[in-house]
Chains A and B, each alone.
Chain A
Amino acid sequence: MKNFALTYLVLAVAILFSFGESIEAGKGIDVKLESNKLSSYQVGQEVVLTFSSEGDADLALFYSNSYGSSLLSSTKNGNTVSFKFPKFVSDKIGTIVWKLINQDKIIEQGQIQMKPSKQVVGIETYLGPIFMQAGQSEYGHLVSIPTDSMDNPVETNTEVLVNQQFYSSNVSSSVFTSHLMSFEIIPTKTQSGRISINAISEQISSKELTTEVNATNPEDYEIKAKTNHPYADGNQLATLSTSVIKDKYGNVVVDGTFVKFLIVNKNNSQLFANGTTINGVATAKINHPNEADTWKVSSYIHGMAKSSEIQVQFLAAIKEYEVSFSDSNKNIKIGPIKSYMNQLIPDGLNVQLRVIKGGEIIYKTAQPTSDGIVNFVLKSSLINKGSYEIEVELAGITKSYKNIDL
């Protein structure tokens, strides 16, 4: 940054002085440009400015091009003074502005145009974006810049051939450079897939570039549910899955698309499960309810697509259970609890116990079953002596025992 600032400063001062001093230009010293004042060269050619001068003038050449500004020192040969521009300056297309300076005074100035070459040696290409959505609205943009051996963009109106390969179809088009470069619009396809692209100018080809067309917004789809058995045992998993989700062109949506399954149970609670698609199918698993229920299951991709609603019915796995009291009603045993085939239920079903007096819950506790059985011990330190109502609830079945003395 500092260097730039300095360059600008020097340039600004130089320009300022060039106005101020131009009236005095050439005073005292007789300098004459031997080459053309407004000359142009082919890029890569050697550029030498030659002046005839009489006397012993101390001459320097100040020049600027797109790289920046600098001073050149002279080579003297008799009455001629010549300035040779360095190769990196004469290898670059564009304008070189020069000023001949003698003791801080500008005595001559001019411009040199460096003209681009016609010979293409390389081709620079830029393509973006590298992913697009299927349809009609999106497009990619290919910029190609054929360059010469000195890395300059070649002459305007150079032809560039753009090839696009999409599955088995190959499309070519010609574009022409303008303002140093050429560009081509790559419209997206309605089918998802990969477009391979290259650009060729005068037999020189770019590297292979690709842009990928992905499915666009999903369309509505169907869902289904799969269960291993129809009982509400709170343990087995129900699998919810979608049909293959596609966009309106029939492309399968990208992997990882987020799908939400909504479940409304008999209490109107909105439960949900999430799934992400693989090959268009999203799957989610959720455990069976603890009690008989009919789930209304639907699914959606937010704002874009939804499924119709299906119903999944769960039958009661536990129909009846026993409650027995012992140790002056302090010990309450529930079970053995049996499931749909009269087998003991799997461990971990939550059983709730409530001690009620006058409609008010005095004490409540819950325990998971183990080997189909739950034992509650009501400690006398927790409940005062008296007569209570005891309520047991499991798998949606509530049993109530009144006038139990504790």
Chain B
Amino acid sequence: MARTTSPGRLTCAGLGKRFGDHAAVTDLNLDLAAGQFLCLLGPSGCGKSTLLRLIAGFETPSSGTIRLDGRDITAEPPHRRPVNMMFQSYALFPHMSVAANIAYGLNRLGRAARGERVDELLRLVRLDGFGARRPDTLSGGQRQRVALARALARSPQVLLLDEPLGALDRALREETQGELRGLQRRLGTSFIVVTHDPAEAMALADRIGVMDRGRLVQIGDAATLYERPANRFVAGLLGDVNLIEGRVLARDAAGIATVETPCGPLLAAGQVEGACVIALRPERLTVSEDPGQASSSLTGQVLDTTYLGDRVRTQVRLADGRLWRVSAPAGSKTMPAGTDVHLSYRPEAAWSMPA
């Protein structure tokens, strides 16, 4: 590498950004260890792109600080930050060749070194021989890779990627996810990817930060977010979930709480006291006609069964009228509509969250 920079530790403390009356980012704290792959996940308008632009330096925070390896970069203009961004629209310079685009950030290098670095980057993104082409003669996937090479040219301490795969079709997106992941492992650069697609976030990242209305709601690995969501929003964002409200009555030595719910007492893991919501993923529930020995179960009536190829989904109406979904591997025994059934689960699979 022509210029090597160690990946940086990025710290945001109390970061806030207001646009007039609208708070785009509120009191955000983030600590990204060097070399990590973080996904910022959230619906559009949740502030994830604003956070990225704050880190890049295109927006000035209304409050808080941004540090890179302990150095305060909050007031530094974008062209002085050792951080590079890959734009959602790629923002390739249309009047320059692919090579000139990639070389744009390398103007401090001598001519020979620059040429070498450009060739190296072209190989890295598998675009050797495309240096003389113009961006408008490339396909979407190729443009995406030019944008990636250009953003990597200066060996940034942190690479920011705004919906990097958003403009690609599905097949290409899945292939590129793997490439992006492999590239990050090889380079060891810290990556922050913004996405609205939970499946993409789970496929890419070491850690996922879920954002909702300008706040970082929860940050953790995919399994933690899926199994132990901080609230309903996170639970619902990461996949289908059955919810039921209740109140914690007691907790045993293993930390399993007994929760009073409209459908009777249920067991669930978690640390909440008082009012709570229990989240149960459809695939953690089992439907059967006899109660069995399960320590925690609910009763209901089968509404319908849908064959989805790899799985079978059963809709069950619970005693209080709410509809729950149960997902079972294909080939499981199906029950006709109207059958009275018991839904059972292991107590650790149920997660109680603050109401």
| A, B co-complexed | no
Which residues in B have some Cβ–Cβ distance to A below 8 Å?
none
Which residues in A have some Cβ–Cβ distance to B below 8 Å?
none
